[in-house]
């Protein structure tokens, strides 16, 4: 009796040891049950069990995300995210937060994915995984309508050096204004005014506190449209960027579902959504 029990115990302990080995050696081990939060198959299963998928965003980035009159978050990203939820047969819940909190919140498990007009960058890739890209964009310069600022990228970088540049905090535009080499910027010693939203940045450009805003293309156009004649966006593209949805590392199955939806939307369908939400 005693011997049998001891053998059984040894067997259990061995299985335990083996399972532990497996999970440390292969992070994306689809069959592993050792770590439910990061294993390959469990992300989609967990979402289906909850009956809900949670999207993290910053709803101040039209046409990709903005607050509608009824307080709901609308936009290109919300529409694509809805298609992801539909594919999984679950409800979509959208959590609105500061843009510069999104990556950390995702890492902390406060949402299942981020959809926020987010550019794929080396820095972010160290922390999260990205889906395939669904939009290409650029950083653009927005100035007051009477500004004579113009020129190619290098001329603008030179002209913007030492100036007051308004940005949305934690964005690629913020890094570009700060002269971050990874963005291709050659701006030197600018006074970077970091705001929580593009709307705030626009306000401070309009009232003269800032000389320019550096921000993504479509939001730049949306800001100009919303400030009837007071602002304009320059033609020069400062960067080439790709937007993608972000997920926690090692959630291959969720990433695969998102990529299926992205493949459906990329191109014409995304363009239609951009037009629809630019008008809204």
Binding interface with ligand GLN (CB under 6 A):
58, 61, 99, 116-119, 168, 171-172, 216
Nearer to ligand GLN, 112 or 218 (CB): 218
In the complex, the smallest distance separating the C-beta of residue 98 from ligand GLN, rounded to whole angstroms, is 10
Q: Specify the residue, 34 or 97, whose C-beta has the smaller distance to ligand GLN.
A: 97
| Pairing outcome for strands 65-67 and 246-247 | unpaired
Smallest separation (angstroms) from ligand GLN to the CB of 157 = 18
Q: Which is nearer to ligand GLN, 19 or 234 (CB)?
A: 234
Whole-number minimum distance, CB 275 to ligand GLN, in Å? 19
User: Which of 81, 90, 91 is closest to 48 using CA atoms?
Assistant: 90
Compute the least distance from the CB of residue 110 to ligand GLN, in Å. Answer: 17
CB of 64 to ligand GLN, least distance (A): 7
Smallest distance from ligand GLN to CB 134, Å: 12
H or E stretch at 277: helix 268-279
State which residue, 52 or 96, has the beta carbon closest to ligand GLN: 96
Q: For residue 184, what are the contacts with CB-CB under 8 A and spacing of at least 6?
A: 176, 238, 239
Cβ burial of 102 (10 Å; 0-12, 13-18, 19+) is buried
Give the whole-angstrom CA distance, residue 265 versus residue 144.
35
As measured in angstroms, the least distance from the Cβ of 137 to ligand GLN is 6
**Nearer Cβ to ligand GLN, position 61 or 245?**
61
Nearer to ligand GLN, 44 or 141 (CB): 141
Rounded Cα distance between 55 and 62, Å, is: 16
Nearer to ligand GLN, 39 or 58 (CB): 58
With residue 237 as reference, give the H or E element that holds it: none
């Amino acid at each position: 009796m005693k011997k049998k029990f001891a053998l059984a115990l040894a067997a259990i302990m061995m299985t335990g040891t083996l399972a532990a080995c497996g999970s440390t050696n292969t992070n994306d081990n689809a069959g592993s049950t050792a770590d439910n939060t990061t294993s390959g198959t469990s992300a989609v299963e967990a979402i289906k069990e909850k009956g809900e998928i949670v999207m993290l965003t910053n709803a101040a980035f039209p046409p990709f995300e903005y607050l509608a009159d009824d307080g709901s978050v609308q936009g290109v990203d919300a529409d694509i995210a809805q298609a992801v939820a539909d594919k999984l047969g679950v409800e979509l819940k959208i959590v609105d937060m500061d843009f510069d909190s999104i990556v950390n919140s995702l890492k902390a498990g406060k949402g299942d994915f981020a959809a926020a007009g987010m550019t794929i960058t080396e820095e972010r890739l160290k922390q999260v995984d990205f889906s395939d890209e669904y939009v290409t964009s650029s950083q653009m310069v927005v100035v007051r309508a009477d500004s004579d600022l113009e020129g190619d990228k290098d001329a603008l970088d030179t002209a913007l050096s030492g100036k007051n540049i308004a940005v949305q905090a934690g964005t690629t535009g913020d890094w570009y204004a700060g002269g971050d080499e990874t963005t291709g910027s050659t701006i030197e010693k600018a006074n970077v005014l970091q705001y929580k939203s593009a709307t705030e940045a626009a306000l401070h450009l309009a009232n003269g506190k800032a000389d320019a805003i550096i921000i993504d293309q479509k939001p730049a156009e949306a800001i100009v449209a919303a400030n009837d004649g007071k602002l304009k966006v320059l033609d020069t593209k400062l960067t080439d960027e790709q937007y993608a949805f972000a997920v926690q590392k090692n959630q291959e199955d969720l990433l695969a579902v998102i990529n299926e939806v992205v493949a459906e939307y990329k191109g014409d369908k995304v363009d239609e959504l951009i037009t629809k939400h630019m008008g809204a």
